Amino acid sequence: MLKGKKSLKVALATVTATVLAGGLLTGCAPANAGGTITYLTNAESWTHADPQRNYTGMHIAWFGSYLQRTLTAYDRAEGAAGSAVVPDLATDTGRSSNGNKTWEFTLRDGVTFEDGSPITCEDIKYGVSRTFATDIITDGPTYAIGMLDIPSAEDGSSTYKGPYSTDAANDTASFDKAITCSEDSKTITFNLKRAVGDFNYTVTYLSFSPVPKAKDDGDQYDMHPVSTGPYKIKSYKVNDSMVLVRNDKWNGSSDPLRANRAFPDKVVVKFGQAEEVRDQIILADKDKTAVSLDAILPTNLSAVFDDEGNVLEKYKGRALNVYDPYVRYAAVNVKKLNCLPVRQAIYYAKNFDSLITLAGGQAFNGDAADGVIKPLMGLDYAKTGYATDDKDWKPEGNIEKAKALMEQAKTECPALYARATDPKQGIFYDIPDTETNKKASAIWIESMEAIGVTMKFNYIEPGKYYSVVLDATKQGDLSSGGWAPDWANASTVIPELFTAEGGFPMSQNWEDPAYAEFKKRSDANLTEPDRKKQGAEWAALNKYAMDQMWVIPGVFSKTQEMWGSKIGGAYFWEPQGALSFGDLNIIK
Amino acid sequence: MSLLSVRDLRVEFKTPDGVVKAVAGVTFDLQAGETLAIVGESGSGKSVTNLAYMGLLPTSRTTITGSVILKTDQGEVDLIGMSNDELRKIRGKDVAMIFQDPMSALHPYYSIGDQLIEAHQVHNEVDKKVSRDRAIELLTLVGVANPDERMAAYPHQFSGGMRQRVMIAMALMNNPKVLIADEPTTALDVTVQAQILKLLRDIQTQFQMAVILITHDLGVVAGAADRVNVMYGGRLVESATVNDLYENPMMPYTVGLLDSIPRMDQGHGKRLRAIPGQPPSLIKLGDGCAFAARCSRKSELPSGTCDSSPELKAVAPNHLVRCHLYDSKEKVK
Amino acid sequence: MNGLVAYISRRIGITLLILLAVSFTVYLIFALLPYDPASLTCGKNCNDPGIIEANRKRLGYDKPFFEQYWVFLVGLFAGRTFGEGAATIYCAAPSFGYSFQQHACVTDLIFDAIPVTIALAVGSLILWLVVGVGLGIIAAKYRGKIWDTLSTAFVLIGTSLPTFLTGLILIVFLVIKVDWSPFPAGGYTAPDEDIGGWFLSMVLPWVTLAFAYSAIYTRFVRSQILEISTEDFIRTARAKGLSDGVILGKHTLRAAMAPIVTMAGLDFAGLLGGAILTEAVFNLPGMGRLSLNAVVDIDLPVIVGTTILAAAIVVIMNMILDIVYAFIDPRVRV
């Protein structure tokens, strides 16, 4: 089970890399224009189509490719080059001042909505304002709330409640000061409450995309968002389909990122495909221009890949097995498991081998993780010395080492030791209630029994999982979790997971003696202007968290994708952890 | 020549437990205009005998042999071995039947008018109006009040006795030569029983029909029949005129049946004597006398006598009996 | 005939009362579920108490149960408005509420879904009645013969094969593996858009659903006919000299009609609530998918709406059956 988000950046891409996209790339000859690309998915609809409510990388990649433009965007390129931020609606990748607390973007000429009306600074400002209406515009990222210079109320929420509020006390004045528009409505200025060196990555989020106020009807805007991209929605029916056609008001000259790449004439998403049918259509190449939006069913993996996870000859060029942006782990509730030797004992006793095999094997599930930052993060990653680099670590679990640690715990923290080893009490592990997880829990229980620890499972309905475990009063001792960075900076990982203010604080580690120093270093690193130094420090803090065993590491996970034989231009778009939707075309 | 002549009729059912010899060689004659009662306990074969030659037994596991010659307007025909299609032209026309439970014997979803008319239409190519008039005429005859109106009524709107009257009217639709009445009064109240028996007697005279009255109750036979056939274990065990049988029953089974009838001349408080024991299994029936096990007078015979089955013999004029007690043809005192 | 009119009006009256009780019970059950409807409408991982309270107020979940139910009932007849200000949502009567997960009025979702399910149910009903009753008659008529054995095999396969698998087999072997297959691999085409496409998109779902049901009906009709064949009134019909055809067609089937109509009516009503597996495998956006997704997503207003509707359909179908029954069986009319 994952919470979390999107992107992943690779080493060389930095804030300053402003490679202009578009015509520079090869392999996107207009000859491939035309036709219909059909996406197949088991989902009954998009989780959200409202730009302010899109959060996952796949959704941002899809909507960002076809329908929504933002001030800046990730470049469309394979490998590390894709993680470069390039201008989109803006003329450049933003200009910061005031020690990275003020960011300014200027809109290109000729950018319009699908009805031909020009996109103004006010439209972007209105779009951003919607993210503050957290009671209606749900599920979206809240970076604007966290970063814009707007006071907080006593309960910690923003004093500005968004554009729908009828409350006279709504702090619209502060919002108007936090985002200002130039006279000509061409330049937008963001005033932040703290220094954010990579704010131009933040605005790649669709939550910073424009919305025409006249067309906004709150919750229902999710069904008919207005397009700014090369396509527009012709029809969208839940449980049925979404059809995109060309947006004739879109002007390629104002959109170098997407110009020469808006290949198909029509894009169709078919919702509610039975999973087996969806896979069979692609496997048998029934619809040669179809693309699966979902991961391949585990039972069909062996039809497409060999045991090592390489694509079989038959499917060369139309399947991928790659690392996704996620790291999976068991968050430790440090308040409850307040004893390092116990946490370490769990880590050493854990049977990584069996758990990975259960989830599809290393070739498909991924590798044992040594922390919460994936090696793909480049700058921010360094080996922590855990998992495969730990001489005491064994894939099937090192029971001897774990037992020794439990002996140590017996004297260091007798209370927790007594609870953990008491069959009537034991330690509790929160896990979403799925078939695979039930099997996994049996593996866990066996490993823990070997070191005399009683482990009990709290199976939580998947739909309610995070609302339970994120409630500090309801969380157990360990909670299954997964996280992907929001963009290619571990600033969206380390503080999110391990500080009290973070968006995903499942480790509840702020009473741990080691927290104070950690917090100080993390806060300082957020405003570190030298990206290399910052990366090294994130890597160090990753190791720090591991030394404290604030999470029991899991896997650097993988994902598998598949498409029809007439689809060209497919590659794994790393920053969004998704297929290169915007580059897909029909091979003539 | 009699109207209906049954010769060595045998009916066997194949069951998972073995072959059931339901009727094991029955021979009798029915004369025009007479009422023949066939009496026996359930399982004696009295109903099966008649259902068999009428082709009303399930065909798949049943074997019927022997001959049953019926005199029809087209001459004599053997009902055994007839095709179902030939036989159905006789059913309801030359030979009609009425059954025990008049509620379940009538189709619950059709009006009695529909059912009466249907019975006529199937054998007569006439206008429906003609059949309808005939139905009303017969309903009047059997004593249904307001027959014109009642034609539209459904079986459940009639009392038991009235339903049996409707059944009788239906049987009479085609002026049958033979009416087989299979336990026609068993399901009815005693007072209604008498009315129905009287009705049967009246219409028999009026229509000049032969009637086969099948019953387990010798009591209803007294005023209703001319002759009685007693059946036991799939065979005829005694045959005589009603008076002869009542006055001089010979077979111990017949004696038992008579003793089990409540009679006016018996004092109150005297318990009726039932025949001890159970009817024989028709699967395991051996060569011996089927009644031997229940026979109260077995001891009068030399041992081993009952190991063979007795023959049906005339021991008096028009009085046949199948019993070892009469092997010497002399009545034992 | 007056009796019939009185009977029907009495039956309609009772049905209305039952419907009221059903709606109340369903509403009560969902109120008792351990889910907070307010927190469910504020996004998947919403745990901000302030937002939850705002939602609770906006949607009326802060009111006492009976008031909520009353507002729900009024909404059914008069429509309902949710929220205030710029983000107001209005759902016209009959309003079952608003789904924050699908961003639509529940009634609109149901109106979109139910034609699909009706098309699926009616088509397969016709198919399975023809096949099931036909095979049932043949099996009964040739009892113990080869036709009976073949129909028994059909019954076994039909009743043991899950519809999901039947559908999948049909899709894989008649659509995906066959290049010239005229059928789509799932999906629904609205008949007013393309009637031919609609028909082609429905054929395999009809066959899939009818396959399972015809097996059940074959078995049922066969046993009904055999059972009725032993009835006294059938013996009477034979004693009358009627031919086998007339006996089967007029007497036996007439008597078997009541249970067959009852069963078909209830099965049909059940299907109108949604054929979950068939709709899922063929990707038909009908009631089954609507309810299934609502349950998976804990989309309470949709669950309440579809549950009440499904229950109402069954209750109304029972009423219709009772009335039809009065026409079939004269004994009921008294």
B325 touches C: beta carbon within 8 Å = no
> In this model, does residue A381 exceed pLDDT 70?
yes
Q: What's residue B329's pLDDT? A: 55
A303 touches C: beta carbon within 8 Å = no
Give the neighbours of chain B: at least 3 Cβ pairs within 8 Å: C
- CB count within 10 Å of CB A239 equals 23
Per-residue pLDDT tens digits for B27-46: 999 998 899 999 988 888 88
Our CA-based measurement puts residue C103 at a distance from the nearest CA of chain B, in whole angstroms, of 53
The verdict on a CB contact (< 8 Å) between C113 and A133 is no
Q: At what angle do helices C195-229 and C253-272 cross, to 10 degrees?
A: 140
The residue count for chain B: 333
| Average pLDDT of the residues of chain B | 86
Our CA-based measurement puts residue B106 at a distance from the nearest CA of chain C, in whole angstroms, of 5
When comparing pLDDT for C101 and B52, which is higher? B52
B83 touches C: beta carbon within 8 Å = no
Sign (positive or negative) of CA dihedral A573, A577, A582, A585: positive
Our CA-based measurement puts residue B218 at a distance from the nearest CA of chain C, in whole angstroms, of 24
DSSP SS3 for A96: strand
What Rg, from alpha-carbon coordinates, does chain B have? 21
The verdict on a CB contact (< 8 Å) between A238 and C109 is yes
The verdict on a CB contact (< 8 Å) between C238 and B170 is no
Separation of alpha carbons B56 and B49, rounded Å: 10
Using CB atoms, pick whichever of C231, C240, C254 lies closest to residue B122.
C240
Separation of alpha carbons B41 and B233, rounded Å: 9
CA separation, residue A30 to residues A22, A255, A263, A265, A586 (Å):
12, 16, 7, 12, 11
Q: What's residue A463's pLDDT? A: 62
Q: What's residue C42's pLDDT? A: 64
> In this model, does residue A16 exceed pLDDT 50?
no
pTM over 0.90: no
CB A326 within 8 A of CB A4: yes
CB B23 within 8 A of CB B49: yes
Which chain B residues contact residue C238 at CB under 8 A? 55-56, 88, 91
Q: What's residue C10's pLDDT? A: 87
DSSP SS3 for A171: coil
Q: What's residue A3's pLDDT? A: 43
Per-residue pLDDT tens digits for C227-246: 998 899 999 999 999 998 99
Separation of alpha carbons A377 and A374, rounded Å: 6
B109 touches C: beta carbon within 8 Å = yes
> In this model, does residue B268 exceed pLDDT 80?
no
The verdict on a CB contact (< 8 Å) between B122 and C242 is yes
**A to C CB pairs, distance under 8 Å:** 124
Using CB atoms, pick whichever of C54, C86, C176 lies closest to residue A286.
C176
Q: Which residue of A has its CA nearest to C280?
A: A274
What Rg, from alpha-carbon coordinates, does chain C have? 24
> In this model, does residue B282 exceed pLDDT 60?
yes
Using CB atoms, pick whichever of C236, C242, C244 lies closest to residue B105.
C236
Separation of alpha carbons C13 and C5, rounded Å: 12
CB A238 within 8 A of CB A245: no
Q: At what angle do helices B128-142 and B160-172 cross, to 10 degrees?
A: 130
The verdict on a CB contact (< 8 Å) between B92 and C240 is yes
Torsion (CA) A129, A131, A132, A133 in degrees, nearest 10: 100
Beta-strand ranges (E) seen in C130-177 are: none
CB A111 within 8 A of CB A89: yes
Which residues are bridge partners to A559 per DSSP? Answer: A322
Q: What's residue A503's pLDDT? A: 74
CB A106 within 8 A of CB A170: no
Q: What contacts 24+ positions apart, CB below 8 Å, involve C247-252? A: C248/C137, C248/C141, C251/B107, C252/C225, C252/C228
DSSP SS3 for A556: strand
> In this model, does residue C196 exceed pLDDT 70?
yes
> In this model, does residue A582 exceed pLDDT 80?
yes
A218 touches C: beta carbon within 8 Å = yes
| H runs (alpha helix) in A98-228 | 121-130, 143-147, 172-178, 199-202
Residues 152-171 of A with CB under 8 A from C: 155, 157, 163-166
> In this model, does residue B332 exceed pLDDT 50?
no
The residue count for chain A: 588
Rounded average pLDDT over A375-394: 90
C180 touches A: beta carbon within 8 Å = no
Q: What DSSP state is assigned to residue C243?
A: -
Rounded average pLDDT over B281-295: 78
The verdict on a CB contact (< 8 Å) between C243 and B154 is no
Tokens found for residue A583: 């580059």
Using CB atoms, pick whichever of A133, A163, A280 lies closest to residue C176.
A280
Q: Among A34-38, A56-60, C48-52, C249-253, where is mean pLDDT lowest?
A: C48-52
Q: What's residue C116's pLDDT? A: 93
The verdict on a CB contact (< 8 Å) between C241 and B104 is no
- CB count within 10 Å of CB B113 equals 22
Per-residue pLDDT tens digits for C97-140: 888 878 889 999 999 999 999 999 999 999 999 999 999 999 99
Residues 75-104 of C with CB under 8 A from A: 83-89, 100, 102-104
Which chain C residues contact residue A155 at CB under 8 A? 50
DSSP SS3 for A106: strand
The verdict on a CB contact (< 8 Å) between C187 and A270 is yes
Separation of alpha carbons B13 and B5, rounded Å: 23
How much of chain B, in percent, has pLDDT values that exceed 70?
94
Give the neighbours of chain C: at least 3 Cβ pairs within 8 Å: A, B
The verdict on a CB contact (< 8 Å) between C236 and B99 is yes
Q: Which range in A470-479, A515-524, B35-44, C171-180 is most confidently predicted, on average pLDDT?
A: A515-524
Beta-strand ranges (E) seen in A474-525 are: 478-483
Q: What's residue B264's pLDDT? A: 58
| Average pLDDT of the residues of chain C | 87
Rounded average pLDDT over B217-222: 83
Which chain C residues contact residue A237 at CB under 8 A? 112, 285
Q: To probe the interface with A, which of C33, C39, C44, C114 has the most A CB atoms within 10 Å?
A: C44
Q: At what angle do helices B160-172 and B190-207 cross, to 10 degrees?
A: 10
CA separation, residue B208 to residues A60, B150, B176, B178, B212 (Å):
99, 27, 9, 9, 13
Using CB atoms, pick whichever of C239, C254, C334 lies closest to residue B109.
C254
Angle at alpha carbon of residue A316, lines to A310 and A322, rounded to 5°: 45
Torsion (CA) B139, B143, B147, B149 in degrees, nearest 10: -140
DSSP codes of every residue in A228-264: -SSEEEEEEETTTEEEEEE-TT--GGG-TTTTTT---
Q: To probe the interface with B, which of C228, C236, C334 has the most B CB atoms within 10 Å?
A: C236
DSSP codes of every residue in B115-146: HHHHHHHTT----HHHHHHHHHHHHHHHT-SS
Q: Which residue of C has its CA nearest to A281?
A: C176
A45 touches C: beta carbon within 8 Å = yes
Rounded average pLDDT over B258-275: 63
Q: To probe the interface with C, which of B109, B156, B157, B175 has the most C CB atoms within 10 Å?
A: B109
Per-residue pLDDT tens digits for A484-540: 888 778 998 999 899 987 778 888 898 899 999 999 999 999 888 888 999 999 999
The verdict on a CB contact (< 8 Å) between C236 and B60 is no
> In this model, does residue B237 exceed pLDDT 60?
yes
> In this model, does residue A182 exceed pLDDT 90?
yes
Q: Which residue of C has its CA nearest to A271?
A: C283
The verdict on a CB contact (< 8 Å) between C235 and B56 is yes
Which chain C residues contact residue B119 at CB under 8 A? 240-241
The verdict on a CB contact (< 8 Å) between B91 and C244 is no
> In this model, does residue B269 exceed pLDDT 70?
no
Q: Write the CB contacts of B306 (distance below 8 Å, at least 6 apart in sequence).
A: B288, B289, B292, B295, B298, B324
Angle at alpha carbon of residue A355, lines to A351 and A360, rounded to 5°: 150
